Amino acid sequence: MAAYIPPYPLRPQKALPPLALLRLARRNLLAIWPEETFSKTIFGHRLFRRGVIVVNSPETVKQTFVDGAAAYEKKSPQQRNALKPLIGDGLFISDGEIWRNRRKVVAPVTHISRLPELTEGISAGAGAHLASWKALPEGAEIDALADMAHLTAGIICATIFGRKLGTKAAETIVSAFSVYQKLINQMDVLSLIGVPDFLPRFQGFRIRAAARRIHTVLDGLIDSILADKNASETSLLRSMSQTKIGDTGTAMDHRAFRDEAAVLFMAGHETTANTLAWAWFLLSQDPETERRLHAEVDAVLGEGPAQFADFAKLPFSRAIIEETLRLYPPVPLQARTAAEDQTVGGRSVKKGDLVILNAWLLHRHKSLWDQPDTFLPDRFMPGGSGIPSRYAYVPFSIGPRVCTGAAFGLTEAVLCLATLARHVRLRLKPDWVVEPVCRLSLRPGERLPMLIEHRRAAVAAVAEDVAETLP
């Protein structure tokens, strides 16, 4: 059977003129990149009054986002203005002293050393979700994108907030963020034509309303945690509230606390939900990969959910997630503003220029990856081709601003996929067309309708030929 090439937007044959580029970017940030850019190491041009440079090789990525990170510290105005109504000056878009102080508070929350503790919430959430799927009739239709968002929202709430998220609250978070992402302006044209960043950008009523709905849920969670002085449960958010900022000897105020809670909640549920939704879609289109996944989870897992100790025993499940992250990185574009004149890869970068790390291009670069557009989990298996460079695979960004929850997110995705795939397979709704769309994050469209099939094959029968099916 031929290897599966999943969908990607039609690539322009040549660079688009500025106005056409902006129109297309408003609809889908992935659709603006010409075929030739998947082979370049660095490129760019002036867009109105601002230079835009894309670093597109391990060397130029390392030079700007790692070695020279201090000279490109400031987040792009596009990202700041798109996310500020939702996360204020939260860690993802803050700069300078605010960013350095906040990171010291937030980073320990999902540190890799806490994975055994955090995995308990992952397993519990995956097990509860599996029970809800088992209760559905054969052939029931679900929206896998929204379904995975509900799953990961519940997990992030249980692990980070130390609270269970009610059905209504979960629905509020998931639906409000979906509305926010759909409506928010991805291209800050005002900054491109030279309007100072400190001048406020207009945000529509529906955008502000969606942000308020999310803030209401978060405020309720925060208040319940901080008011319950005798709570016996572990809350990482409570730990954050007790951590002092810098040399001030004071904790974060309520607004700062909510901003960082919003960052943790959005980053913790949205990116993993998208990755899981993409994984289900890819498996539904690649029967051989799905068969090997089933063989692995049947051999490793019992009837209950996957646990922390199972993670190391699920290399193919992990390879599927890692390949999914390569093809569909959750936040494919990371942009910085140059703080001073630079030279990168032989190209001049002026102060104020935008420098972009585009994982969508880098992960499909024709000089770095074998069959770059093809779904090949085996490249991440022992003995596979692997990652050509640590600076060529950046699903969680890289350098000082690398995602603090990268290990948590990967573990969550693997254990959830394995737990659910042990008992259920999903099939794409007939005639449904999937197209990757990127606004704040990379999604398989607005919905992903899939049909549930309950697996009835005996574990013993599958386990007998595990040695033949696993590489």
pLDDT of residue 442: 94
Q: What are the tokens at 2? A: 């031929």
pLDDT of residue 463: 46
Place of tokens 């800050």: 188
State the greatest distance between any 2 C-alpha atoms of the chain, in Å, as a whole number: 67
Place of tokens 């867009």: 47
- The mean pLDDT value of the chain amounts to 86
pTM of the model: 0.89
pLDDT of residue 461: 41
With beta carbons less than 8 A apart as the criterion, state whether 9 and 35 touch: no
Closest-CA residue to 152 (of 420, 395, 416, 427): 416
pLDDT at 197 over 70: no
Q: Which of 93-102, 275-284, 297-306 has the lowest mean pLDDT?
A: 93-102
Question: How many residues does the structure list for the chain?
Answer: 471
Please compute the mean of the pLDDT values over residues 463-470 and round it to a whole number: 50
What's 135's DSSP letter? T
Q: What are phi and psi of 122, to 5 degrees?
A: -65, -50
Please give the C-alpha separations between residue 333 and each of 34, 357, 360, 409, in angstroms, as whole numbers. 16, 6, 7, 18
170 confidence band (pLDDT: 50, 70, 90): confident
What's the rounded Cα separation, in Å, for the pair 438 and 449?
A: 19
Please compute the mean of the pLDDT values over residues 13-39 and round it to a whole number: 89
Q: Which of 49-63, 219-233, 257-271, 284-298 has the lowest mean pLDDT?
A: 219-233
469 confidence band (pLDDT: 50, 70, 90): low
Q: What are the tokens at 78? A: 């596009």
What's the rounded Cα separation, in Å, for the pair 54 and 2?
A: 33
pLDDT at 37 over 90: yes
241 confidence band (pLDDT: 50, 70, 90): low
pLDDT of residue 459: 41
What's the rounded Cα separation, in Å, for the pair 263 and 265?
A: 5
Q: Which of 3-12, 120-129, 189-198, 377-386 has the lowest mean pLDDT?
A: 189-198
263 confidence band (pLDDT: 50, 70, 90): confident
CA 217 remoteness from chain centre: 22
Q: What are phi and psi of 376, to 5 degrees?
A: -135, 80
pLDDT at 344 over 90: yes
With beta carbons less than 8 A apart as the criterion, state whether 202 and 82 touch: no
173 confidence band (pLDDT: 50, 70, 90): confident
Dihedral sign, Cα of residue 291, residue 292, residue 294, residue 299: positive
pLDDT of residue 201: 60
Closest-CA residue to 339 (of 354, 350, 355, 351): 351
For 133: left if phi > 0, alpha if psi spans -120 to 50, otherwise beta; the answer is alpha
pLDDT of residue 182: 80
What's the rounded Cα separation, in Å, for the pair 235 and 255?
A: 19
Secondary structure (DSSP) of 408-426: HHHHHHHHHHHHHHTTEEE
pLDDT at 412 over 90: yes
What's the rounded Cα separation, in Å, for the pair 165 and 214?
A: 13
468 confidence band (pLDDT: 50, 70, 90): low
248 confidence band (pLDDT: 50, 70, 90): low
460 confidence band (pLDDT: 50, 70, 90): very low
pLDDT at 90 over 90: no
pLDDT of residue 229: 60
Q: Which of the two residues, 155 and 95, has the higher pLDDT score?
A: 155
195 confidence band (pLDDT: 50, 70, 90): low
Please compute the mean of the pLDDT values over residues 338-362 and round it to a whole number: 92
Please compute the mean of the pLDDT values over residues 350-377 and round it to a whole number: 96
Query: What percent of the chain shows pLDDT beyond 70?
Result: 87
User: Other C-beta atoms within 10 Å of 123: how many?
Assistant: 20
Domains and CATH numbers, the chain: 18-469 (1.10.630.10)
Q: What are phi and psi of 135, to 5 degrees?
A: -75, -15
pLDDT of residue 249: 66
Q: Which of the two residues, 37 and 97, has the higher pLDDT score?
A: 37
467 confidence band (pLDDT: 50, 70, 90): very low
Please compute the mean of the pLDDT values over residues 134-138 and round it to a whole number: 96
Closest-CA residue to 283 (of 297, 271, 269): 297
Please compute the mean of the pLDDT values over residues 402-410 and round it to a whole number: 90
With beta carbons less than 8 A apart as the criterion, state whether 413 and 275 touch: yes
272 confidence band (pLDDT: 50, 70, 90): very high
pLDDT of residue 387: 95
Please give the C-alpha separations between residue 143 and each of 183, 361, 451, 452, in angstroms, as whole numbers. 20, 28, 9, 10
pLDDT of residue 160: 76
pLDDT at 471 over 60: no
With beta carbons less than 8 A apart as the criterion, state whether 260 and 105 touch: yes
Task: Out of 77-81, 198-202, 346-350, 363-367, give the one with best mean pLDDT.
Answer: 363-367
What's the rounded Cα separation, in Å, for the pair 361 and 175?
A: 30
pLDDT of residue 224: 79
Strand arrangement, sheet containing 141-143: 141-143, 449-454, 424-428
Gap between the terminal Cα atoms of the chain: 17
Q: What are the tokens at 97? A: 């002293």
